[in-house]
């Protein structure tokens, strides 16, 4: 068997491959659901109904998709340039921490304060990734390990702050930071649900990232750096500058995810506020084949699985860990599907 790079990727494959990947993943996970003594078909129906069956469940799903879109964009932007940012989880938490911290003491009217807080969250996420990016460029320290280790450090730091200087005395011993000022809470998008206008910000971010990647010099340089670093340098692109720019953008997006989650949902920061948004963002980015528009679709899909699996688990008794299994299987099948879109198998 031999693999041959396709000269041109047929559009048909670009559309069919991700759908086939998801179908295969659902089929494989179906086997595991059957092992629990539940019909996979019943389980999947429960899942879809649980995530999309009512006004409340749809808004819950969109609320869950909001940080996933942003962390998915963060991973997509970095992976395009072959900057392996596995630290979106840490950048998410640092964005959330800084937002909660400043948002508690800042006195500004809401419409002015909210942008200030979001910029602060973005800046802190970008700064957190700047360190590993600098280490990679200056000392060739692999960024996979440094960004990952920073996740643990940041979450411990958050724990330290919410048990110390940022402790909420009104939380009855529940470990949470002081909440942000009420004026800075993001308004609801749908009344009497948790869905807030942060969802629109996430969609806007996807559009902005799409324009940056597709229509600017920086976007072209990013692509070149990711495809072939040596050729890019030869063509006169400054690899350090491009990678630093990518790191700033990626870290800022993940930091914004944390900021928006605090302003829109949790008000304060806790060490348990993310069920792995940073890691799930990597799956979202891969399912989207690193494309910003695809990120939105993939985030909605992953959010549907997560929200739906909880409901399905309650209804059928299948352990809710099945959601993570489905999402991980999607990542693996999507990897294979992507290979078949770029390579042709020859005997």
Is residue 305 part of the contact set for other proteins (CB under 8 A)? no
Residue with structure tokens 């996430």? 202
Of residues 146, 205, 53, the one with CA closest to residue 197: 205
How far apart (Å, rounded) are the C-alpha atoms in residues 219 and 241?
13
Is residue 335 part of the contact set for other proteins (CB under 8 A)? yes
- What string of H, E and C letters represents the secondary structure of 104-148? HHCCCCHHHHHHHHHHHHHHHHHHHHHHHHHHHHHHCCCHHHHHH
- Closest to other proteins by CB, 206 vs 338, is 338
Is residue 66 part of the contact set for other proteins (CB under 8 A)? no
Is residue 142 part of the contact set for other proteins (CB under 8 A)? yes
Residues 91-120 contacting other proteins, CB under 8 A: none
- Closest to other proteins by CB, 88 vs 209, is 88
* 269 contacts 97 by C-beta, under 8 angstroms: yes
- Closest to other proteins by CB, 62 vs 323, is 323
Of residues 63, 100, 125, the one with CA closest to residue 253: 125
Is residue 84 part of the contact set for other proteins (CB under 8 A)? yes
- Closest to other proteins by CB, 134 vs 218, is 134
Stretch that binds other proteins, among 14-22, 66-74, 121-129, 281-289 (CB under 8 A): 281-289
Is residue 20 part of the contact set for other proteins (CB under 8 A)? no
Is residue 279 part of the contact set for other proteins (CB under 8 A)? yes
Query: How many other CB atoms are found less than 10 A from the CB of residue 108?
Result: 15
How far apart (Å, rounded) are the C-alpha atoms in residues 297 and 287?
9
Supply φ then ψ for residue 165, to 5 degrees.
-60, -30
Q: Can you read off the two tokens belonging to residue 294? A: 């695809």
Is residue 163 part of the contact set for other proteins (CB under 8 A)? yes
Q: How far is the CB of 324 from other proteins (least distance, A)?
A: 3
Query: How many other CB atoms are found less than 10 A from the CB of residue 231?
Result: 11
Give the relative orientation of helices 217-227 and 239-261 as an angle to the nearest 10 degrees.
Answer: 110
How far apart (Å, rounded) are the C-alpha atoms in residues 81 and 330?
23
Is residue 144 part of the contact set for other proteins (CB under 8 A)? yes
- Closest to other proteins by CB, 186 vs 307, is 307
Stretch that binds other proteins, among 63-71, 93-101, 206-214, 334-342 (CB under 8 A): 334-342
# of chain residues touching other proteins (CB under 8 A): 46
Q: How far is the CB of 96 from other proteins (least distance, A)?
A: 17
How far apart (Å, rounded) are the C-alpha atoms in residues 243 and 137?
9
Is residue 150 part of the contact set for other proteins (CB under 8 A)? yes
Select from 48, 137, 218, 324 the one that contacts other proteins (CB under 8 A). 324
C-alpha to C-alpha distances, 140 to 88, 235, 240, nearest whole angstrom: 20, 22, 12
**Nearest 5°: CA angle at 238, between 237 and 244?**
125
Query: How many other CB atoms are found less than 10 A from the CB of residue 29?
Result: 22
Stretch that binds other proteins, among 39-47, 108-116, 233-241, 278-286 (CB under 8 A): 278-286
- Closest to other proteins by CB, 163 vs 238, is 163
Query: How many other CB atoms are found less than 10 A from the CB of residue 236?
Result: 7
Is residue 204 part of the contact set for other proteins (CB under 8 A)? no
Is residue 282 part of the contact set for other proteins (CB under 8 A)? yes
Stretch that binds other proteins, among 98-106, 154-162, 226-234, 243-251 (CB under 8 A): 154-162
Bridge partners, 188 (sequence order): 196
Instruction: List, as one string, the DSSP characters of 35-58.
Output: HTTS-HHHHHHHHHHHHHSSHHHH
Select from 111, 164, 182, 191 the one that contacts other proteins (CB under 8 A). 164
Query: What does the binding site for other proteins look like in residue numbers (CB under 8 A)?
Result: 1-3, 32, 35-36, 79, 84, 86, 135, 139-142, 144-146, 148-150, 152-153, 156-157, 159-160, 163-164, 279, 282-283, 286, 319, 321-322, 324-325, 327-329, 331-332, 335-336, 338-339
């Amino acid at each position: 068997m031999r693999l041959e790079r396709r000269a041109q990727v047929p559009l048909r494959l670009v559309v069919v491959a991700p759908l086939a990947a998801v179908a295969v993943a659902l089929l494989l996970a179906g086997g595991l659901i059957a092992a629990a003594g539940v019909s996979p078909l019943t389980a999947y129906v429960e899942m879809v109904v649980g995530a999309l069956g009512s006004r409340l469940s749809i808004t819950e799903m969109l609320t869950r998709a909001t940080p996933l879109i942003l962390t998915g964009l963060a991973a997509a932007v970095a992976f395009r340039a072959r900057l392996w940012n596995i630290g979106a989880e840490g950048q998410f938490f640092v964005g959330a921490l800084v937002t909660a911290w400043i948002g508690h003491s800042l006195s500004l009217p809401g419409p002015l304060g909210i942008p200030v807080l979001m910029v602060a969250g973005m800046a802190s996420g970008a700064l957190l990734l700047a360190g590993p990016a600098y280490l990679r460029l200056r000392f060739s320290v692999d960024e996979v390990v440094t960004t990952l280790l920073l996740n643990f450090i940041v979450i411990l730091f958050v724990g330290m702050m919410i048990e110390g200087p940022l402790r909420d005395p009104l939380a009855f011993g529940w470990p949470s930071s002081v909440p942000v000022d009420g004026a800075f809470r993001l308004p609801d998008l749908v009344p009497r649900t948790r869905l807030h206008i942060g969802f629109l910000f996430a969609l806007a971010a996807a559009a902005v990232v799409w324009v940056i990647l597709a229509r600017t010099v920086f976007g072209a340089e990013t692509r070149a750096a990711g495809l072939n670093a040596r050729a890019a340098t030869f063509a006169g692109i400054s690899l350090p500058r491009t990678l630093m720019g990518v790191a700033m953008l990626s870290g800022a997006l993940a930091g914004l995810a944390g900021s928006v989650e605090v302003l829109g949902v949790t008000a304060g920061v806790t060490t348990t506020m993310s069920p792995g948004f940073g890691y799930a963002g990597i799956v979202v980015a891969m399912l989207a084949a690193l494309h910003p528009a695809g990120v939105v679709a993939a985030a909605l899909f992953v959010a549907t699985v997560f929200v739906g699996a909880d409901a399905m688990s309650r209804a059928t008794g299948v352990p809710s860990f099945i959601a993570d299994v489905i999402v991980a299987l999607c990542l693996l099948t999507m990897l294979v599907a992507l290979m078949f879109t770029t390579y042709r198998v020859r005997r």
